[in-house]
Amino acid sequence: MDSVQTAFDKAYWASQPLELEALPAIADLGQRTTRAAALAAQGFSVDVPIMVWGWDPHLVMTMRANYGYTWVPSALQPNISVAPGVTQPGAVAYDPTHPPAGSIKVSTNIADYPPLTPPAPVPQLATDGDPVGPLSVGTLYLSVVGDNYPDGAKFTDSRGTFLKHVTITPFGRGNYWEKIS
C-alpha cells in the first residue's frame, strides 16, 4: 500500500463517527452486517463496500470516481439505476450535482475527510454508577445525565439487563436504554 493510499484510508476512518469506525473490528460478517443495518436505520450513512465488506476506502473511492460517480447511495437508500453519463428511455438519469441527503460523497481528496471531533464529554455527576434512569414507557428507560456508554452496550442491575440505544435525528443525538431481560 502506498503512502497516499495509507494516508487517505486513515483520514477516511478518522472522519467517521465512532459507531461506524468500530464496524471493521466486528470479525463476523453477519454480525457486522446486522450492526451496520441497525446504524443505518438510526440515520448513519453506512458505506457498505467499505464499512461492511471491508474493501479499501481509497481504492473504492478511486474506482467510483473513475466511473464518473460524485456520490453513491448509503445503506438503505435506493440503488442507482443508470450509470453516470448513460441515458435510457424512461429511466431516471444519474444527477452528479444533486446527491440525495445521506448519500456518500465520492472523493479521494483527503481534505474532504476532516477528523470528526467527538462531542465534549458530559461531566459525570455523582450517581450510584447506574446509567439506566427511570422507566419512560413500556420497556424503555431514560439515560441518566453523564451516561457515556456507547450504542449497543449492555448494563445489568437489580431491575434486569438493559441494551443502550443511541439515535441520531435532525435534532441531535439521543440516548435511551431498553430492558431486554
* Cell numbers at 171, concatenated: 435534532
Alpha helices in the chain, H assignment, sequence order: 3-14, 18-21, 29-41, 57-66
The predicted-structure confidence for 106-139, as pLDDT tens digits, reads as follows 999 999 999 987 656 555 444 457 899 898 888 9
> What is the rounded CA–CA span in Å between residue 4 and residue 12?
12
Q: Look at residues 20, 29, 22 and name the one whose alpha carbon lies nearest to residue 47.
A: 20
Which residues face 160 on adjacent strands?
A: 157
pLDDT of residue 124: 46
- CB within 8 A of 1, min separation 6: which ones? 9, 56
Question: To 5 degrees, how large is the angle CA 47–CA 78–CA 50?
Answer: 15
160 residue type, one letter: G
Count the neighbouring beta carbons within 10 Å of the beta carbon of residue 10. Answer: 15
Rg (CA), the chain: 20
- CB within 8 A of 38, min separation 6: which ones? none
The predicted-structure confidence for 39-93, as pLDDT tens digits, reads as follows 998 899 999 999 999 999 999 999 999 999 999 999 999 889 899 999 889 888 8
Tell me the pTM: 0.65
Burial of residue 73 (number of CB atoms within 10 Å: 0-12, 13-18, 19+): middle
Q: Look at residues 117, 149, 137 and name the one whose alpha carbon lies nearest to residue 179.
A: 137
The predicted-structure confidence for 133-167, as pLDDT tens digits, reads as follows 898 888 999 888 878 888 898 999 999 999 999 88
Query: CA–CA distance from 18 to each of 37, 48, 72, 96, 172 (Å)?
Result: 16, 16, 22, 29, 15
Question: Are residues 68 and 96 in contact, defined by beta-carbon separation less than 8 angstroms?
Answer: yes
pLDDT of residue 22: 92
